[in-house]
Structure 1
């Protein structure tokens, strides 16, 4: 197992994250689907675990859109056919027609499936500003 700091995040993980971000801001369900496993789960503070089908359905309907999405990776680990990467991310878009913006810590867990790395879990945690205290 290899745990890394931000200075030595494996290039392939950064490329996966970049592709995932581009897919999300494309708002194209087919493009997003190529980045995630069939059993992908998104864990949010608002809704808890949300299955792939629900997120893709909301994106396909236009209720959720992303205009920007960035992540600065700080930690990563590769262990055989599983890898994770954690960092701070920001995104903008709309939800139910209203503008939205998020600043959060994001962990993506990838699994190699048939030689291709796919995200199997995305976990979001809101980032606290200096005026907020952590629990």
Structure 2
């Protein structure tokens, strides 16, 4: 779920990306990200696309829920970004996980599509 006053097309991109992640379908996830997509986490630092898709494809990482309240966004030419607070649940190596974090997704227009090229996660401090 995206709740925000950001441009509607960015909210739609975020909804599509979240739905792909919760589907745990590598093909759907790959359809939302660039070939050079990078996930930056506090635990592992920069994680390349291939590693995340492998972990999801193997079932070692699953997502059961993913929400985000977007608070900041911008579009500049063929680039856009969305920052907000998100929560997700799932499993990692069979153990339950949950996260409450600030998330920034950076999008790039590729032809007629907008694809995420960078996701940066920062744990939220309660």
Say yes or no: TM over 0.5: yes
Counterparts of 1:65 and 1:94 in 2: how far apart (Å)? 5
Counterpart of 2:11 in structure 1 is 14
Q: Secondary structure at the match of 2:120?
A: strand
Relative distance call for 1:7 and 1:59 in structure 2 (3 A) is closer
Q: Which runs of 5+ in 2 are unaligned?
A: none
Shift of 1:8: 3.1
- Please report the TM-score for the alignment, with normalisation by the length of structure 1: 0.90
Q: Which runs of 5+ in 1 are unaligned?
A: 1-5, 130-135
Alignment of 1:1-135 (within 5 A): 8-129=5-126
Shift of 1:54: 0.2
Shift of 1:7: 5.5
Counterparts of 1:68 and 1:9 in 2: how far apart (Å)? 22
Backbone CA RMSD of aligned residues? 0.9
Please say which structure displays the higher CA radius of gyration: 1
